[in-house]
């Protein structure tokens, strides 16, 4: 949920400065507030976060997990952290019910938390309509459904699975897990066909919704960047036109469009430089490229030597420092770390 959001929730005496630090922590192009006072918003978000965690603990316990596994996997699910006490991750339980429960809560964690708050109030119907109408959430669900089916068709036609249900569930689970940066595993997807592996790597770049606990560039940024690119193409043929970039029904301020464009550029540059740095140590390109985006988007598993059954222990110490920097860049959303390398920042 974020250490800054925690402090804002616990320390109302931060005053007007709370809104500034809140915007630094909440991921996405804009930071929504649901109450006039940011302190109240942060407090509601934490209550929601705790409630979802306890709900998952109860569901996993009823599905057959012991309390220790239920708590640890719930902590790792809602934070989309992906760490598991089991070497085989979620696959160790061999339980479709447990996997489906975790899928549901990963999807909940991958959506914008601000959308859930009206559901717990007297504005339930209005909140439900807003949830259904939210463009970013619809794209999120469409990506999960569409790419899960595409990946399933890829692995099914390749003969990876004899049981269609098992293949579909693994495809859905890995799609949700990789898209949100959770990184849980139920199958060794590094053994899947190249199309499936390519799609999973592409999902690492995208990430979940703004205002969620996920990594990656965030769906809203990708949408704004795509629409901005289309606008530039249109402006080539109609240079005197005034065309706004819309996200849903609202026009996106030009300052946000510029910020998003710069963010996407810096994100790709960080991934490319990270890939180049890792290959200098003699690591093959597939492993280096997937490891770079896996750590930058805080996913965990990649392809090749860092696949779902591998780890990062074999890298040289300096390569690990490169990946530490990439993890910080991804988790802090580039700009705070990039500012440290700006001469203008230090002059001020």
* pLDDT tens-place string over residues 214-250: 889 999 889 889 988 888 888 888 777 778 887 767 7
Instruction: Give the model's confidence band at 213: pLDDT under 50 very low, under 70 low, under 90 confident, else very high.
Output: confident
Measuring CA to CA, how many Å separate 165 from each of 59, 96, 162, 170, 171?
Answer: 22, 10, 9, 9, 10
Closest to 34 measured CA to CA, from 275, 43, 25: 43
pLDDT in tens, 321-331: 999 999 999 88
Mean pLDDT throughout 142-170?
A: 95
pLDDT for residue 15 = 53
pLDDT for residue 6 = 61
Listed range (102-111, 218-227, 338-347) with the worst mean pLDDT: 338-347
Task: Report the predicted TM-score, pTM, of the whole model to 2 decimal places.
Answer: 0.86
Question: What's the Rg (C-alpha) of the chain?
Answer: 21
On the CB side of 18, how many CA atoms lie within 13 Å of its CA?
22
Q: What is the DSSP letter of 194?
A: H
Query: Percent of the chain beyond pLDDT 90?
Result: 52
Mean pLDDT throughout 96-122?
A: 85
Listed range (57-71, 92-106, 126-140, 217-231) with the worst mean pLDDT: 126-140
Nearest 5°: the CA angle 188, 74, 167 is: 30
**What is the secondary structure of 137-170 as a DSSP string?**
HHHHHHHHHHHHHHHHHHHHHTT--S-HHHHHHH
Q: Taking a C-beta distance cutoff of 8 angstroms, is the pair 169, 96 a contact?
A: yes
Nearby residues of 153 by Cβ (< 8 Å), 6 or more positions away: none
Mean pLDDT throughout 72-95?
A: 91
How far is Cα 34 from Cα 22, in angstroms, rounded to an integer? 13
How far is Cα 215 from Cα 206, in angstroms, rounded to an integer? 8
Mean pLDDT throughout 52-64?
A: 95
pLDDT top residue among 305 and 251 = 305
Mean pLDDT throughout 192-209?
A: 94
H helices of the chain, in order, are 3-10, 17-25, 38-62, 67-78, 96-110, 124-133, 135-157, 164-179, 194-206, 219-237, 254-279, 285-296, 317-331, 335-340, 343-347
């Amino acid at each position: 949920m974020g250490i800054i959001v925690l402090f804002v929730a616990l320390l109302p005496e931060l005053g007007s400065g709370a809104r500034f630090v809140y915007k630094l922590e909440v991921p996405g192009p804009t930071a929504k507030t649901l109450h006039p006072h940011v302190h109240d918003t942060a407090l509601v978000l934490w209550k929601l976060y705790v409630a979802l965690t306890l709900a998952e603990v109860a569901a996993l316990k009823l599905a057959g997990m012991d309390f220790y596994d239920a708590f640890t996997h719930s902590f790792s699910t809602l934070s989309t952290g992906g760490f598991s006490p089991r070497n085989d991750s979620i696959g160790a339980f061999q339980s479709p019910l447990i996997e489906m429960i975790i899928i549901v809560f990963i999807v909940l964690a991958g959506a914008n938390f601000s959308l859930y708050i009206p559901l717990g109030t007297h504005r339930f119907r209005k909140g439900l309509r807003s949830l259904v109408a939210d463009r970013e959430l619809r794209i999120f669900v469409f990506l999960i459904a569409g790419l899960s089916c595409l990946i399933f068709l890829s692995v099914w036609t390749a003969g990876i699975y004899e049981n269609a249900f098992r293949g579909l569930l693994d495809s859905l689970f890995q799609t949700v897990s990789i898209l949100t940066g959770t990184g849980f595993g139920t199958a060794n997807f590094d053994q899947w066909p190249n199309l499936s592996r390519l799609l999973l790597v592409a999902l690492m770049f995208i990430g979940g919704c703004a205002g969620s606990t996920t990594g990656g560039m965030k769906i809203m940024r990708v949408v704004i960047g795509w629409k901005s690119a289309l606008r530039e193409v249109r402006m080539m043929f109609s240079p005197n036109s005034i065309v706004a970039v819309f996200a849903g029904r609202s026009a996106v301020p030009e300052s946000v469009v510029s910020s998003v464009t710069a963010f996407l550029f810096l994100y790709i540059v960080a991934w490319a430089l990270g890939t180049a740095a890792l290959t200098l140590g003699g690591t093959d390109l597939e492993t280096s490229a997937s490891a770079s985006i896996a750590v930058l988007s805080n996913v965990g598993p990649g392809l090749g030597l860092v696949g779902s059954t591998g780890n990062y222990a074999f890298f040289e110490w300096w390569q690990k420092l490169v990946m530490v920097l990439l993890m910080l860049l991804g988790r802090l959303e580039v700009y705070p770390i990039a500012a440290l390398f700006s001469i203008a920042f230090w002059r001020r």
